[in-house]
Structure formats: C-alpha cells, structure tokens
C-alpha cells in the first residue's frame, strides 16, 4: 500500500492465468524481411506472450502454414488485477532464436475483465501490427469496442496484381520495380500517421494493391484469428487479492512510427517530419507569435493598445489600484481584439510566421523592415526548394521590395518569379510537386499528393494525420498553397551500424513523446486565444472587465464595497494558485499514492467488472467459423 509502484515488482502473484495456445486460422502473409521482397509466402508462425509488455513465453514455429496448430498450454503468475496480456503471432524467417522474425498480428486483453474459475474458449481476432501504437490500455479499449474488420483496413493475402494494357499503368509498374526493397506491404488502408502510413499510401497508389476494383486481389480485413483457452485462478484469499487492485502495472508506450526492426531500410523521414511539426506548432505558431505581439505593442503600431499600456505603467506612480484597473482593461481589450481575425493576424504575424501568400506579403510589408522582409524571402526560397548562394545580396534585395510607408508594388507571384530570376538563387526546373510527393499544405499540415489537376492548379492530398484544428485544411488545395517538405532518403539497414540504429530509434521515440506531450497543449492554448472556446473566453473576459471596474471604483470611492470584492478575489486567486502548487509539489508523494491505491481498491470492490468474453467484440466462440468481410 505504501509503495504500490515497487510492490508490483516484488510481490508474488494473486492469481494464475492458464492459457492454452491451440491454433490459428487465416494468418496473413507477414511483412518483408531485410533480404526479400513480398511474395505472399506462407508464414512460419509462432506465438509470443507478453504480460504488461514484458516477454514471458514463446511457442515453437509451424512452417509454411496459414492455419498452424500449436496446442501449447502454459501458466503465468498475475500480480496486478489491471495487468494486460498480449498474444502476438510472428513469422520466423531464420533459425529459432534468431532476430529474423516478422510481425503478423496481435491481440490484447485485461485480467480485470476475466472472471475467476471460468474457462473462456474461442477465437480471438488478430490486429494488424501497425496498430501496436500508444499504450496497451488504449489499444485494448479500442479493440474491445470495434473489431479490426469494422475499420475496413485490408491486407492482400496474395501477391500484388499489376494492371496491364495502359500506358499509365505501365509507368506505375516500372516505378514499383524501381522501388525494390522500398515496397513495404502491410495494409492497403489509410494508416493515419507514421512511417508505415506514408509508405503504404504511396505503395497503394503505385502498385494498385488493395484496389477494390481489382478482382485478382484476395483481401482480408484482419490479420487472422487465434484459438485460445483461458482460465484465471485465484491463489490467495479474497481479502489478500483485494490488494492486487491497488497495483498499477508498468507498460511500454509505443510511438506512432513503426519499429525500425520491422523495416528493410532505416527511415529517417518520420523523425524529420515530427521535428518539423514541433517547430511549426511550438516555435512558429507560439513563440514567434508572442514575439510578433510584443514587437507590435512596443513599436506603437497600434496607438490604442500601446497607449493604454503606457497609461497603466505611468499610473503606478499615482496609485496601484488605478494601475490594476488600466492593466486589466488592457488585457480585456487584447482578448476582444483577438476575436477578429484581421486584428489577430496584425498582432501575431511577422516575417518568421506570416503565411506564404499575398496576404502574408502585405502583412510583412506593413512592418516596413528590411530584416522582416529578409526572413520572409528566405522562407519563400526554402518553401520552393530553392538554395541561396548570396546571403548578403538577398538582404539588399529585401530592402528594395518595400516601398514608401509599408507598401509593395508587386504581387506574391511576381515576387516569387523575381526571386527565380536572381543569379544568387537556385530553384529546381519545373514544378517540384508531383504525384506521390511528400508535401505540406499552408506550410502546416503534412500529407502525400494523390492527384494533380494542372488545368485548374488543384492538388489532392492524402493527409498523414486526420485530426487537425485548422479549418482551412481540405483534401483539395490550390497548387500555390502546397509545398514539398524536406525528404530524408531511406538507408539500407545493412549499411547502418547497430549502435546508430539504436540511437535513431531512441531519438525517434523521444521526439514522438515530446510531440505527444507538447502539441495537444499548444493546440489547446491556440484554440483558446482564437476564441474556439467562447464559454471559457467569456468567463475570463468577464473577470477582467469586473476586476477593472472594481479597481476604478475603489480608486474613486475610498470606503466602497469594491475593496471587499478585491480582497475576496485576491483570496480566491491565491487559493487556486496554492492548490495547483500543492498538486505539483506533492503529486508524487507517498501519501497520494496510498490514497490512490485505497481509491482503486474501493472502486474495484464496488464495481467488479469481470464480464469477459461478453464485453469483447474481438471474440468468437470456438465453434464459430471464420467469415470473410465483404464490401
């Protein structure tokens, strides 16, 4: 109870899980190995069992069989009631004990859902390996409410069929042959993000794999099914077993990129893309926006905002109550102006984050600053895949763009063409945006080009990440709003030392973790200031206006009720701040862990949920046949 985090590793089990790995059916052909391309070979299947993402046991392999039978009963000690079990099927490409193994599929379930002393006998649906992302509890919750088949993600069970007879298709076939080891078949469906998602979407376009109109492609919508027999036996008394409910098991957080050991080549593209996502969201949209706002106020580009802030500072010499009134009124005015997109753009945009279009050019020109225009021109060159050989010459050119009092005599397209004509800038010939190109739309959201309508200058983009807050983003974008993002070529793994591969994987994991931790917070802050949450913004605005009013009234009337109101608001502010400080300072203290453990025990005792297998949508009874999903 006092150290539940350590008790998980030191206590003996409160129960035993008897698991009989009987057989599997309809296993999909595994992914490619490091030395062979995908040919649809029958898998040499074996099973690994993990408890809380820790390896426990492996069966023997059955060669060249999509319906192997193992009949391998085992028993494992279970320490925590919330422990997660993962049963994963692999294809053995080398000798037993070697690292040449490819993932076929997996299924996970929680011990807390399994009733005691009741046998569960049936077929468990196997998920595609690309679903091994995030934490086990999230994956389990998703799978228990939705079968893999219901996602309509498909995997061909025969070699990819190439179309013939058309010139376009012949080009695609040639491109597929040139790819060689780069072809990485896992699923023809859209995988939302990561190395696998990008590779698969490009593969589906190039080879036609997973085409519903291709009758020669035999697809199935899960990785197969595995027959398991489960029985959970309590080995301690009921009162002793209650302490197992207070234990929080450890787990592994799998990043959204596919693990490097599953790839024939070392792919650095996802690492580069994630780093650019963090740079765009944190540096460009937050830090640069804040710097632009401070520059906007300090440069007196708005006499209203700068003047009111000046009055608030000067009034401190007269009376602090008066200064509080002006300062809260200034904050309220800033929030009100942020509701207007025009004012918001003026206050938070400079050369480092202005959009690369006509509006962005005019916004930067208003600064009437050579430095701001120089930074903006550098971004224009880089966005169009250009290189700069004369940096000082570009500074001189930037000084000639803005005329008079922040006016420009050229359009954005004319300025871009002028840049392409300069001798110290080098741009690629033709349009760098092609079908299959890795791009960003509005220099923010990343995706892959699937179709180009050159007659209307339109581009269709398949985005890597479906959840994005910018409402401007649609699958069809104008050509000038699409830019090719930096590309990192894949390196054959055989040429990369193991130490470097491990370092890259570690950095990928760390960058992905930082992205997951920071980007939701930055998006939430940005959504608040652009009035995406009007109720919360209204509460803050009401407080600022009321605080400003009582400060002015208290300054004017010595013995008014406003003095009491200010004291009350000060106490409330200090109380809320104190609670937050206590939670931060003592959140990891032992007393809080004890309270959390007691809470878990009480909650588990009051609502014991052992409802498996009824709550598992991925489960079928042992006598149910495998039914192939049809479109």
Residue 331: which pLDDT band, with cuts at 50, 70 and 90?
Answer: very high
Q: Which of 158, 157, 132, 159 is nearest to 224 (CA)?
A: 157
What are the phi and psi torsion angles at 333 (to 5°)? -65, -40
Distance of alpha carbon 64 from alpha carbon 485, whole angstroms: 42
Which of 197-201, 470-474, 479-483: highest mean pLDDT?
A: 479-483
Q: Is the pLDDT of residue 264 over 60?
A: no
Query: CB-based contacts of 392: which residues, under 8 Å, 6+ apart?
Result: none
Backbone angles phi, psi at 203, to 5 degrees: -65, -45
In the predicted structure, residue 215 carries a pLDDT above the cut 60: no
Question: What sign results for the dihedral spanned by CA atoms 418, 422, 428, 430?
Answer: positive
> How does pLDDT run across 417-469, given as a tens digit for each residue?
899 889 999 988 877 788 888 888 887 888 888 888 888 888 888 887 655 44
Quote the pTM value.
0.62
Domains parsed from the chain with CATH numbers: 1-151+222-254+611-631 (2.60.40.150), 153-220 (no CATH), 545-606 (no CATH)
Q: How many CB atoms lie within 10 A of CB 389?
A: 11
pLDDT digits (tens, 9 = 90+) for 86-105: 999 998 876 555 556 788 89
Nearest of 262, 343, 201 to residue 31 by alpha carbon: 262
Q: What is the pLDDT of residue 260?
A: 47
Question: What is the pLDDT confidence band of residue 184, given thresholds at 50, 70 and 90?
Answer: very low
Return the higher-pLDDT residue of 347 and 593: 347
**Which carries the bigger pLDDT value, residue 532 or residue 403?**
532
Residue 130 exposure: Cα atoms within 13 Å on the Cβ side: 26
Asked if pLDDT for residue 175 goes beyond 80, the answer is no
State the average pLDDT over residues 69-74. Answer: 93
Least confident of 248-257, 259-268, 318-327: 259-268
Q: Say whether 550 sits in a helix, a strand or coil.
A: helix
Q: How far apart are CA 410 and CA 255, in angstroms?
A: 46
DSSP 291-317: HHHHHHHHTTS-HHHHHHHHHHHHHTT
For residue 213, give the 3-state DSSP assignment: coil
* Between 533 and 184, residue with greater pLDDT: 533
% of the chain with per-residue pLDDT over 70: 76
Distance in angstroms (rounded) separating the CA atoms of residues 546 and 325: 9
CB distance 604 to 93 below 8 Å: no
- Rounded to whole angstroms, how far apart are CA atoms 467 and 378? 30
The torsion defined by the Cα of 485, 410, 342 and 325, in degrees rounded to 10, comes to 110
Cβ atoms of 251 and 53 closer than 8 Å: yes
Q: What confidence score (pLDDT) does residue 618 get?
A: 93
For the chain, the straight-line distance linking the first and the last C-alpha, in angstroms and rounded, comes to 53
| 542-565 tens-digit pLDDT | 999 998 999 898 888 888 888 888
Mean pLDDT of 408-418: 88
Among the listed residues 361, 462, 344, the one whose alpha carbon sits nearest the alpha carbon of residue 411: 361
User: Which SS3 state, helix, strand or coil, does residue 269 take?
Assistant: helix
How far apart CA 475 and CA 447 sit, in angstroms, is 9
Using DSSP's 3-state secondary structure scheme, residue 167 falls into helix
Distance of CA 228 to the CA centre of its chain: 33
Q: Above 90 in pLDDT, residue 3?
A: no
Q: What is the pLDDT of residues 222-234, one digit of tens each?
A: 899 999 999 999 8
> Rounded distance, CA 577 to CA 63, Å?
64
Residues 96-140 pLDDT 10s: 555 567 888 999 999 989 999 899 999 999 998 878 877 888 889
pLDDT value of position 244? 72
What value does the mean pLDDT of the chain take? 78
pLDDT recorded at residue 205? 34
- Summarised one tens digit per residue, pLDDT across range 333-365 is 999 999 998 899 889 888 888 888 888 888 888
> Looking at residue 279, what DSSP letter applies?
I
Report the run of H or E that residue 11 belongs to, with start and end: none
pLDDT, position 620: 92
Question: Whose CA is closest to 84, among 255, 250, 226, 253?
Answer: 250
Q: What is the pLDDT of residue 211?
A: 41
- For residue 137, which of 253, 228, 255, 246 has the smallest C-alpha distance? 253
**pLDDT tens-digit map of 476-499:** 888 888 888 887 777 776 777 877
Check residue 29 and give its pLDDT: 76
Q: What is the pLDDT of residue 594?
A: 67
Interval 171-185 mean pLDDT: 36
Asked whether 124 and 27 are in contact (CB, 8 A), the reply is: no
Q: DSSP for 80-119?
A: -TT-EEEEEEEEE-SSTTSS-EEEEEEEEEEGGGSPBT--
Instruction: In whole angstroms, give the CA distance from residue 47 to residue 90.
Output: 6
Cα–Cα distance measured from residue 35 to residue 515, given in angstroms and rounded to the nearest whole number: 33
- Give me 197's structure tokens: 């998602």
């Amino acid at each position: 109870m006092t150290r539940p985090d350590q008790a998980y590793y030191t206590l003996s089990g409160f129960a035993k899980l008897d698991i009989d790995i009987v057989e599997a059916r309809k296993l999909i052909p595994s992914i490619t190995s490091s030395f062979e391309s995908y040919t649809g070979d029958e898998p040499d299947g074996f099973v690994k069992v993990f408890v809380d993402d820790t390896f426990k046991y492996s069966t023997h392999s059955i060669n060249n069989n999509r319906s192997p039978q193992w009949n391998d009963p085992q028993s494992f000690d279970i320490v925590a009631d919330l422990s997660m079990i993962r049963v994963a099927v692999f294809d053995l490409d080398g000798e037993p004990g070697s690292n040449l193994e490819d993932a076929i599929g997996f299924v996970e379930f929680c011990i807390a859902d399994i009733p005691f002393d009741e046998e569960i006998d049936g077929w468990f649906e196997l998920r595609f390996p690309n679903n091994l992302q995030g934490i086990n509890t999230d994956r389990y919750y998703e799978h228990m409410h939705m079968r893999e088949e219901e996602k309509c993600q498909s995997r061909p069970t025969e070699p990819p069929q190439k179309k013939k007879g058309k010139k376009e298709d012949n080009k695609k076939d040639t491109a597929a042959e040139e790819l060689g080891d780069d072809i990485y078949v896992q699923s023809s469906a859209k995988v939302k993000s990561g190395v696998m998602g990008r590779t698969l979407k490009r593969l589906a376009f190039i080879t036609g794999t997973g085409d519903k109109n291709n009758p020669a492609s035999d697809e199935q919508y899960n990785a197969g099914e595995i027959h398991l027999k489960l029985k959970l036996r309590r080995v301690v008394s009921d009162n002793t077993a209650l302490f197992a409910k207070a234990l929080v098991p450890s787990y592994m957080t799998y990043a959204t990129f596919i693990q490097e050991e599953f790839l024939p080549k070392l792919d650095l593209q996802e690492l580069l893309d994630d780093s650019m996502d963090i740079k765009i969201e944190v540096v460009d949209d937050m830090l640069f926006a804040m710097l632009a706002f401070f520059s906007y106020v300090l440069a007196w580009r708005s006499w209203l905002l700068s003047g009111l802030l000046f009055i608030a500072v000067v009034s401190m010499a007269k009376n602090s109550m008066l200064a509080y009134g002006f300062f809260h009124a200034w904050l309220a005015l800033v929030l009100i102006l942020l509701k207007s997109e025009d004012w918001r753009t003026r206050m938070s945009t400079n050369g480092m984050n202005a959009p690369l279009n006509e509006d962005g050019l005019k916004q930067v020109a208003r600064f009437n600053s050579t430095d701001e225009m120089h930074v903006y021109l550098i971004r224009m060159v880089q966005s169009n895949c250009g290189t700069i050989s004369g940096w000082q010459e570009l500074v001189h050119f930037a000084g000639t763009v803005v005329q008079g009092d922040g006016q420009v005599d050229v359009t954005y397209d004319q300025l871009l063409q002028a840049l392409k004509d300069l001798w110290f800038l080098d741009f690629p010939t033709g349009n760098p945006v092609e079908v299959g190109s890795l791009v960003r739309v509005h220099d923010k959201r990343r995706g892959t080009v699937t179709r180009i309508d050159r007659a209307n200058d339109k581009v269709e983009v398949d985005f890597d990440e479906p959840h994005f807050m910018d409402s401007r983003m649609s699958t069809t974008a104008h050509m000038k709003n699409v830019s090719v993002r930096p590309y990192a070529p894949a390196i054959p793994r055989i040429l990369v030392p193991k130490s470097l591969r491990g370092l890259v994987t570690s950095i990928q994991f760390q960058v992905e973790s930082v992205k997951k931790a920071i980007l939701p917070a930055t998006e939430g802050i940005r959504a608040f200031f652009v009035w995406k949450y009007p109720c919360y913004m209204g509460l803050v605005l009401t407080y600022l206006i009321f605080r400003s009013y009582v400060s002015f009234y208290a300054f004017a009337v010595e013995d008014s009720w406003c003095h009491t109101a200010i004291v009350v608001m000060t106490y409330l502010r200090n109380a809320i701040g104190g609670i937050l400080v206590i939670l931060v300072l003592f959140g990891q203290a032992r007393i809080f862990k004890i309270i959390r453990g007691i809470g878990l025990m009480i909650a588990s005792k009051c609502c014991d949920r052992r409802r498996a297998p009824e709550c598992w949508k991925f489960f079928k009874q042992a006598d149910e046949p495998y039914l192939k999903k049809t479109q």
